[in-house]
Copies of this chain bind each other. A is one copy, B any other.
Amino acid sequence: MKTVYVVKVGGNIIDDELKFAAFLCEFSELPSPKLLIHGGGKLATQLASRLGHPTKIISGRRVTDEETLKIAIMVYAGWINKTITAKLQAFNCKAIGISGADGRCIPSVKRRPEPLDYGFVGDPLLSEVDVSFFSALFGAGLVPVISPITADESGQLLNTNADTVASVLASAMSKAYHVKLVYCFEEKGVLKNKHDKLSVIPKIDSKYYEILKSENIVAEGMIPKLDNAFQARQNGVGSVIITNGSGLLNLTKTNYHAGTTID
C-alpha cells in the first residue's frame, strides 16, 4: 500500500506568520500523496468581534449560530484556505483548497441539540467518506488542503472540529493507504510538565492515557485532541504522531523519533 501523509495544522501555528510560513515550506517538501487539514485560529473570533457578534463557548467548543457559521465559512473555507493554497503553490506544491463539503467528500450530520445545543456543528460520517475522491485528486498530482466545513445530506453547511476531520479522514483512508497522521500544534509533543517545553512524552498508549488524565497531566483542549488521535489508531491508522510544525520532514526518516507517538 502507498503511504499517505494526513497532516493537521492547528490555529496557534496559523496565527504566527513566521512559524506558519516555515511549516508550509516543510509541508511542501513532504513526499506525495499528502493532504493538509487546517483549523481556524483566532481569526474567526476576531472577525466576529469586529462585526459585533459575540462568540459563545461551551465546554471549550464554539457554539455555532447562523451568523457564527457564516463567519466560520468565510474565514476557514475562504481566507485561511485560499491563503494556504496560494502560499503552497509558491513553494511548488500543487495545492487545491477545498472543504469537507466539496464533492461530498466528508459527509456529516448536524449534532443533536441534547444535552447541549452547539448549533450548526457537524459530526463527520466515517463510513461515508469518499476515499476515491481523494485518490482522484492525488492521481491528478494535486495536494488537497481541507478546511473544517462539512455539509449534511440536505446541503446544510456545518462547522466541524478540525481534529475530528483529520481523524475521520485518516481512518477512512487507512482502508486504501498506509496512513501517517500528524497533528501539528505549538508544542514539540504532549508535555509531561506544561511549564517545561522539553518534557515531551515520547509514547502514549491507552493505559498510560488513562493515568495521564487521572493525574491531570493532560487536560482541557488536549483531551479531545488525544481522543481523536486514539480513535484514528483504533480505526486502523498505521501511525499517529502529535508534534510541532518544524521538523515535519524528520517524520519521513526511519528510526527517527519526534513528538509524541500514539500507540
Contacts and interface: CB of A to CB of B under 8 A. Distances in A.
Interface of A: 47, 50-51, 70, 73-79, 81-83, 85-90, 94-99, 101-104, 132-133, 136-137, 139-140, 142, 149, 151, 153-157
A153 B95 CA distance: 13
B83 A157 contact: yes
A76 to B, nearest CB: 8
Given A74-B79, A78-B78, A155 B97 contact: no
A86 B157 contact: yes
Given A77-B77, A97-B99, A103-B94, A149 B89 contact: no
A153 B78 CA distance: 20
30 contacts: A47-B74, A73-B82, A74-B75, A77-B77, A77-B78, A77-B82, A77-B97, A78-B79, A78-B81, A82-B102, A82-B149, A82-B157, A85-B101, A85-B151, A86-B155, A89-B104, A89-B151, A90-B153, A95-B103, A96-B102, A96-B103, A97-B98, A98-B98, A103-B140, A103-B142, A132-B140, A133-B140, A133-B142, A136-B140, A137-B140
Contacts of A94: 103-104
A57 to B, nearest CB: 22
